[in-house]
Structures are given as structure tokens and as C-alpha cells.
Structure 1
Amino acid sequence: MTIQSQPLLDVLTGLSKEHIRFAETLHTLPDATLTRRPAAGGWNVLECMEHLNRYSAFYLDAIQTCIRNADSKPAAVYKPGRLGNYFSKMIHPDTSAKKMKTPKPMNTLNAPLSRSVLTEFISNQQQLTKLLEKAQQVDLGKEKTGTSLSRLIRLKLGDTLRFVVYHNERHTRQAKKALAGA
């Protein structure tokens, strides 16, 4: 399987901009709404967004370093790696709805949070959209990043970008469900 690089980056940028717009609408809601636990249980809105902030702390730096140190020219297509493609499909909410175990440092359940989580999320997403723009200048299949799982696991830049944006999509949808069920 190969993927056209530019259309992929356009889709990922579009999703990231949607995530920013969603977070901006959350600023208009009262704190009680943002911290209310959904009737079915699970994370509240702020916990969903903070979870994404914690992953952004690792991945934005990894992506930025990868792009800054890249020595490749852009390629029209890239072929996803086997592991990266698996992770991307596993995390995308349209291809996998099953619940996943969250690593303890990334679990935000009952964490003391304030609405500053939203400002941080918006800032992270703005940085991600800039990195997606810079990624147009490198080969998404040649350059690699580390993962939050292990220093030994490295993914193609295109796979990392897909994983990060799809993970954001998964949890912004979860936040929307938390709003609806709160």
C-alpha cells in the first residue's frame, strides 16, 4: 500500500484544525460542564484533552527533531511501515472502536485540572499544524521518529504523523461524547 504524501498531509492538517476549533468552543463552556463525569463513566472533557497534551509533550518534540535533522527531499508517495500502519489503524476511531489500556503516566482520570488544559491543547495543535506544513519538505517514508512506547521502536515520519492526529481524533470524539453524556 502506498499513500500520496500531499493529500495525506492535507487531511491531517484539516483534522488538526478541526481539533483546534473544537477546543476553542470548549472555552465557552462552564467549568462544571468540562469536569462533569459522563454518565457511562470514563474521562471528562478536561481529562481527554490533558491526555492528548501529555502525548503531545513527547511527540511534538520528536517530530520537530526529525524534521529539523532530515536530509531527504519530499517524495510524492510513501509506503507505511508494517508496525506504523498497524498502530495508525489501531488508534483511528473509524477502524478500531475497542478500548485500550492507558499507560499510567498518560492516565488523567481524577487528575486535578483547570481550563488551562484547553489553552495548552490549542497551542499544541497549532504547533502540530506548523510541523505538518514543514513535513511537506521531507520524505515521510525515509525519516523516522522514536515512540513513547520505547526508544527501540522507531516509526516512519508519515506513520507517526498519522498516529498522532488519529489519536487526537479518537480523544476529541471521546470528549464530545463526554459532553453529550454529562
Structure 2
Amino acid sequence: MTTQALFSELENVTKENIHYLEQNVLPLTPEQLNWKPRQDVWNVKEVIAHVYEHAKYYHSAFSKKIDTTKFREPKDLFLSSPLGKSMWKSMKLGNARNVKRKMKAARLYNPLIVKSIVTEHVIADFLASQKELLNILERAKTINIRKAKIRLVGNNVIKFRFGDTLLLVVYHNQRHIQQVINLIQHPKFPQP
């Protein structure tokens, strides 16, 4: 795919996430934010806390790599590595906005295990991080996103192409925003 098409996709998905959060999540009451259909399911705040924890790691890694990479020449085409493509495709929603493959959250990013990641201001914090991500995407256009590499969260060994990791993060965000949408559309979701 062209690098321009990749960035366009990433920006569009991120802007959709921001719009949904601003229009549909910020106005929710504390009761709605904390509602869950079952005890083993994350509520809206827990879902957002999960993606915000990932955002904190990846946004820092992206910014640091943009500032320090020696690969300063952007290229017109981006080619995913086979493993990178497999990784982000497994995260991407299906055509019907459904989750194709369920995954288990790492313990450190699971709000049912690490309750401290669910803070009072986690919705606003994540929304701010999504706006920060748009800035990171703009800055990333100035480097070679095929040659620059990023370590996966919780993994000190494997590095993926910067572009593949951007796709992973944005599709991970989209996947969990869809989880929030599904919660809000649940027939028993409390009405204000």
C-alpha cells in the first residue's frame, strides 16, 4: 500500500474514535460508565483504561523513535512484514465491525486484575491521547516507517516495523471502541 493511504486510514480511524468518544462516551453518567452485563465483562471505563495503558507505552515509543531514528527518508510505498501484517490483521475488525479473533489481555493491561489503571479521568485522558496520536501520525510522515522499528509492549525481544505497529495500535483502539459501542447498545444498558 502507499504510505499516504496507510496514514489516511490511520487518521480516519483515529478521528472516528475521537468523534465517538466526544459524542457518546463523555456525556455518560458514572452509573453508565461502570455498568456491565456480567461481572467478567469490562465496563466502559475499564475498556478505555485498557487502551489508554497501551497508548501511554506506544505513544512514548513512537515519539522517541521519530526523534532518534536514523531512517529519515520517508518512502512512497509501505510493505508490511509477514509477521507484522498477521499481527495487525488479527486485530482489525471484520467488515461487519465484528471481532474476528478474540485475544486475552496481558495481566498488566487487564482492568479486572490491575484495578488501579481505571482512574477517575481515564476517558478524558484517553481522548487527549487520541488527539496526541494524530500529531504522532503527522510527525511519522517524516521518517521511513518500514525501516524504523518499535518493540511490542511487554516484549523486549521482538521489534516490528513502525508502520505495522501503528496499524496494530490504531486497530486495537478501534476494536475496543467497538467494544464500548456494543456495551452502550446492550438492551439492558442504563438510560440516563
1:108 pairs with 2:107: no
Please tell me the residue identity of whatever aligns with 1:165: V
CA distance in 1, matches of 2:56, 2:39: 29
Give the match for residue 172 of structure 2. 167
CA distance in 1, matches of 2:106, 2:54: 11
Q: 1:180 to 1:39 in 2, by over 3 A?
A: farther
Question: Unaligned 5+ residue runs, structure 1?
Answer: none
Count of aligned pairs: 180
- Contact (CA 8 Å) 1:43, 1:178: kept in 2 or not? no
Q: Under a length normalisation based on structure 2, what TM-score does the superposition of the two structures give?
A: 0.88
CA distance in 2, matches of 1:81, 1:69: 22
CA distance in 2, matches of 1:61, 1:149: 14
Q: CA RMSD in A?
A: 1.7
* CA drift at 1:39: 5.5
Q: Under a length normalisation based on structure 1, what TM-score does the superposition of the two structures give?
A: 0.92
Return the match for 1:19 from 17, 20, 26. 17
1:42 pairs with 2:45: no
- Contact (CA 8 Å) 1:74, 1:138: kept in 2 or not? yes
Spell out, residue by residue over 1:103-135, the C-alpha distance to the aligned partner (whole angstroms, 9 max, x if none). Answer: 111101273635511111011111111000011
CA distance in 1, matches of 2:179, 2:164: 22
- Contact (CA 8 Å) 1:15, 1:169: kept in 2 or not? yes
Task: Name the stretch that deviates more: 108-117 or 80-89.
Answer: 108-117
Give the match for residue 64 of structure 2. 65
- Contact (CA 8 Å) 1:34, 1:179: kept in 2 or not? no
Q: Any idea what SS the aligned residue of 1:155 has?
A: strand
Q: Any idea what SS the aligned residue of 1:77 has?
A: coil
- Contact (CA 8 Å) 1:23, 1:121: kept in 2 or not? no
